[in-house]
Amino acid sequence: PDGRVDATRFNGEGIDLNRDFITQSQPETQETVSLIKEWNPMVFLDTHGYVKNYAPNKQGLIEPCTPPYNPNYEYDL
């Protein structure tokens, strides 16, 4: 399973993939960067701030201090 399923940022080698994007030493990070370069998305949503079990039987997304929308964009988009 991927890290979201196990509620972890570490791969099977024990490497925190959120800290690997500078060195890109892990295959998961290398593939992610490769896909971003290939697809060249206009928008990229990074939801690595999830928490496990913030409420019974639920997982939460985004850090609690994150604004509910990006103030640099129109709210109605």
Instruction: Please report which confidence band the pLDDT of residue 8 belongs to, taking 50, 70 and 90 as the band edges.
Output: confident
In a domain, 22, yes or no: yes
Q: How many domains does the chain have?
A: 1
In a domain, 55, yes or no: yes
d(CA 73, CA 77): 8
In a domain, 29, yes or no: yes
Closest CA to 16 of 48, 60, 38: 48
- Per-residue pLDDT tens over the stretch 37-49: 999 999 887 765 5
In a domain, 14, yes or no: yes
- Per-residue pLDDT tens over the stretch 16-73: 888 898 999 999 999 999 999 999 999 887 765 555 555 555 555 555 666 666 666 6
In a domain, 28, yes or no: yes
- Residue 3 has a pLDDT of 72
In a domain, 26, yes or no: yes
By CB neighbour count within 10 A (0-12 exposed, 13-18 middle, 19+ buried), where does 72 fall?
A: exposed
In a domain, 54, yes or no: yes
Q: What is the pTM of this model?
A: 0.58
